[in-house]
């Protein structure tokens, strides 16, 4: 359990209020809340994962079987990296100018 929770439990138990729970009961409560929170997060993750697989299935997406399937063919072979980087900078500059005008 976190130091924060331990400190809060001790501070509540030191007050002369109408709290009748022992520090151990508070620890149990905090642990239960933490477990339930983790359970909710895990369920949300599983649902998101399931939705992603369902969407991929609907769109006909299949697993990649060879890394070469990811290789792009959008840049001419005769142009080098410097030309590509210049092109990227020019596109970014155009985008920057376009958003400033809006």
pLDDT digits (tens, 9 = 90+) for 51-91: 999 999 999 998 889 998 888 777 778 888 898 899 999 99
This prediction has a pTM of 0.40
Residues 6+ apart with CB under 8 A from 75: 84
Rounded Cα–Cα distance for residues 36 and 27 (Å): 14
Mean pLDDT of 35-56: 93
């Amino acid at each position: 359990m976190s130091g924060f929770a331990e400190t809060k439990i001790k501070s509540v138990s030191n007050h002369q209020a109408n709290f009748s729970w022992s520090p151990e009961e508070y620890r149990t409560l905090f642990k239960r809340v933490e477990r339930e929170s983790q359970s909710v997060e895990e369920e949300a993750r599983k649902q998101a994962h399931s939705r992603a697989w369902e969407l991929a299935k609907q769109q006909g997406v299949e697993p990649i079987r060879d890394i070469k399937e990811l290789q792009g063919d959008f840049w001419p072979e005769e142009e080098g990296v410097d030309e590509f980087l210049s092109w990227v900078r020019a596109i970014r500059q155009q985008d920057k100018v376009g958003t400033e005008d809006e």
